[in-house]
Amino acid sequence: MIVTVTLNAALDVTYRIDQVHWNGVNRVQDLHRRAGGKGVNVARVLAALGHDVLVTGLAGGPTGRAVELDLTASALPHSLTPIGDDSRTTLAVTGSSGTALFNELGPRVTREELVRFLDGFAGALTGAAAVVISGSLPRGVPADFYATLAAHAADRGIPALVDADGEALRRASAGRPAIVKPNLEELARAFPADALGPESQAGLMRKAGAAAVVVSLGHDGLLAVTAEGTWRARMPYRVAGNPTGAGDAFVAGLAMGVVEGMPWPERLRLAAALGAAAVAMPVAGEIDHGTFQAVHRQINVS
């Protein structure tokens, strides 16, 4: 079983509009509402590929109840810690010119609610083969909390994968995660004063405790700095579509690679192909299998 952590769970709303008129009325042609947040999206991809999952995190208010109802309807096992504040909604508007994302800050979480979550998290780790800790932190959660969760997993011999941003990303390595997965923009925010390139920044994260750092380069593929060496995966071509959730599918591939004991080249090829396959779908948490097959066999890893 792979456990995913989504502290800032959301109700994801996606509007598809051919042409967005920012100063006029827009007619939505297609609408999706579903439980979201990065860890939820990771769990959807893993479940679709046949892995047992457990979604953990925080949920509160009417929006939190809507999130839990959708998880149940989607047959995604979950154990969300209840909180007093209302969970957030996110909006993706996708059209011919691209996709715009509108992400609410999310709820304010109390210390007592975090303690309850930690108690549940400890139980969820029983029988876990890996844990994926991803997404933004809601208000009231300390910046080193992902490092704390990763350390709990590491103490029990369970590999943790962390996909974070900002200070949470910068501090994540202290928890000794198996993999930290930033993209280039997230690296820049975590190291704003450093003129180092991504390979050197990844090296600093490894020195701080991360076993491996995999940097998503978008359409240019990925860079992996590991104990076994540095790898670069290059995409054969650019896949058009909605990039929302591509990073989550990418992380799902890395988690699969860890659990199934894949060598790094195979693991990276799988992750990159899943990320591309997610771009081809209109909503996060889904992959286009045809795109996956076409891209997977053409990815070059060196």
Three state DSSP letters for 187-211: HHHHCCCCCCCHHHHHHHHHHCCCC
Comparing CA positions, the residue from 31, 85, 49 lying closest to residue 254 is: 49
Total domains in the chain come to 1
**Residue 241 pLDDT more than 80?**
no
Q: For 49-107, what is each residue's pLDDT tens digit? A: 999 999 999 999 999 999 999 999 999 999 999 999 999 999 888 777 778 888 888 99
Contact, 39 vs 132, CB < 8 A?
Answer: yes
- The two beta strands, 10-16 and 30-36, are antiparallel
CATH code for the domain in which residue 141 is found: 3.40.1190.20
Q: Residue 94: what pLDDT?
A: 79
User: Which residues does 34 contact at the CB level (< 8 Å), separation at least 6?
Assistant: 11, 12, 70, 74, 283, 285
Q: What pTM was estimated for this model as a whole?
A: 0.91
pLDDT band at residue 242 under the 50/70/90 scheme: low
How many angstroms separate the CA atoms of 260 and 53, rounded? Answer: 14
pLDDT band at residue 295 under the 50/70/90 scheme: confident
Q: Residue 82: what pLDDT?
A: 98
Percentage with pLDDT > 90 across the chain:
64
Q: Which two tokens stand for residue 67?
A: 């999130």
